[in-house]
């Protein structure tokens, strides 16, 4: 059985992730299959809209094939770059797609799953949604357009999410604009049935089946997030959290101390520059260069070892504290690739 199921249901093009044992984590072949389907449907007048969801299993998409990326990064990085290249082409294709797109973020939606849901016009969260960009915990950064999306969230919530990897529930996704609709999971199949019957009426279908979302806990921390994560320098964020006497700030500081200082600095700069990017294509070109550099650096290989391979959750980062990561190192990571090696859209 294929890891991605593509089909046509009336005038609806359907993409279903089908790798349940890996919580539908994306690999290179899956991204290529989805991209090819989207390319074909883009010029097919019989297809009116596109739906992205998952088949069996407990989550929409847990991310990408991290172990492959680390194995490749420990060698020449070629396989990792090939994955990023096609994945980012898929992200960009969805972002610029001319036909309406809808994604169902039911369950775990992280990393690569964020990259194929946030570009969609309609994004459905449920009571099962667990949305996060946890990359700083493995020495990576919030890619797949994270620099674009997170930098455009209210206040400093994007910086908070990028640095801490905090998990949002479905109500929080709706409150922050990451989701456009909140549905109870028992209504999803009816929503999909109605959308297949009338793909031109996605908004009306979702509006009709949506239910009021519960309170979003993150809103109670908005003032604290905007104040404590206000700085552009990671050292200043650490200092602000350390100076605050509240329990919430202490929890966030403890979380940040477990993350890669290098990755957190990369993430802060990514969001700072992402906010100013003229196009999503520019964003993906920069993120591809970042990914090409980072997969071959110590912190990513060590983060994957600690979290994915050995599971001791005790990574030994190259730099133990923010002040130990020099601007020169960050500049090296952000260096653009030569034109012949740079990312290009499909």
> Which domains does the chain show, CATH number per domain?
1-346 (3.90.226.10)
Please report, in tens digits, the pLDDT of each residue of the chain (346 residues total): 799 999 999 999 999 999 999 999 999 999 999 999 999 999 999 999 999 999 987 899 999 999 999 999 999 999 999 999 999 999 999 999 999 999 999 999 999 999 999 999 999 999 999 999 999 999 999 999 999 999 999 999 999 999 999 999 999 999 999 999 999 999 999 999 999 999 999 999 999 999 999 999 999 999 999 999 999 999 999 999 999 999 999 999 999 999 999 999 999 999 999 999 999 999 999 999 999 999 999 999 999 999 999 999 999 999 999 999 999 999 999 999 999 999 999 8
Which of 63, 77, 112, 137 is catalytic? The answer is 112
> What pTM, to 2 d.p., does this model score?
0.97
Annotation says 201 is catalytic: no
- Rounded Cα distance between 267 and 141, Å, is 6
SS3 content of the chain, % helix, strand, coil (to 5): 55, 10, 35
Q: Which of 13, 64, 115, 145 is catalytic?
A: 64
Check residue 1 and give its pLDDT: 79
pLDDT of residue 9: 97
Return the structure tokens found at 149: 């999306």
106, 135, 169, 283: the catalytic one is 135
- Residue 291 a catalytic site member: no
77 among known catalytic residues: no
Cα 202 to the center of its chain, rounded Å: 24
64-99 exposure pattern, b = at least 16 Cβ within 10 A, e = fewer: bbbebbbbbbeeebebbbebbbbbbbbbbbbbebee
pLDDT of residue 56: 83
Give the pLDDT score at 58. Answer: 81
Is 121 catalytic? The answer is no
Are 187 and 195 in contact, with CB atoms under 8 Å apart? Answer: no
Question: What does the pLDDT read at residue 63?
Answer: 94
């Amino acid at each position: 059985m294929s890891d991605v199921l593509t089909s046509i249901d009336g005038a609806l093009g359907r993409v279903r992730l089908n790798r349940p044992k890996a919580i539908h984590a994306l690999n290179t072949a899956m991204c290529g299959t989805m991209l090819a389907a989207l390319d074909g449907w883009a010029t097919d007048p019989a297809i009116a809209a596109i739906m992205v969801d998952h088949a069996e299993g407990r989550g929409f998409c847990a991310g990408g094939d991290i172990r492959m990326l680390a194995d490749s990064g420990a060698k020449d990085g070629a396989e990792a770059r090939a994955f990023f290249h096609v994945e980012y082409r898929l992200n960009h294709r969805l972002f610029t797609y001319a036909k309406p797109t809808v994604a169902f973020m039911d369950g775990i939606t992280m990393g690569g799953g964020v990259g194929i849901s946030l570009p969609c016009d309609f994004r459905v969260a449920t009571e099962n949604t667990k949305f996060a960009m946890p990359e700083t915990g493995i020495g990576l950064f919030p890619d797949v357009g994270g620099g674009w999306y997170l930098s455009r969230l209210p206040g400093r919530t994007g910086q908070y999410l990028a640095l801490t990897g905090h998990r949002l529930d479905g109500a929080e996704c709706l409150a922050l604009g990451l989701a456009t609709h909140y549905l109870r999971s028992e209504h999803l199949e009816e929503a999909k049935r109605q959308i297949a019957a009338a793909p031109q009426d996605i908004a009306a279908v979702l509006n009709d089946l949506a239910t009021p979302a519960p309170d979003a806990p993150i809103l109670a921390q908005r003032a604290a997030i905007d104040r404590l994560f206000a700085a552009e320098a990671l050292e200043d964020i650490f200092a602000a959290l350390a100076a605050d006497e509240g329990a919430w700030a202490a929890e966030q500081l403890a979380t940040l101390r477990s993350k890669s200082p290098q990755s957190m600095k990369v993430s802060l700069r990514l969001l700072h520059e992402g906010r100013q990017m003229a196009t999503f294509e520019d964003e993906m070109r920069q993120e591809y260069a970042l990914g090409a550099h980072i997969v071959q650096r110590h912190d990513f290989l060590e983060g994957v070892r600690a979290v994915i391979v050995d599971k001791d959750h005790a990574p030994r980062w190259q730099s133990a504290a923010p002040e130990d990561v020099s601007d020169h190192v960050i500049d090296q990571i952000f260096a653009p690739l030569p034109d012949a090696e740079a990312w290009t859209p499909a």
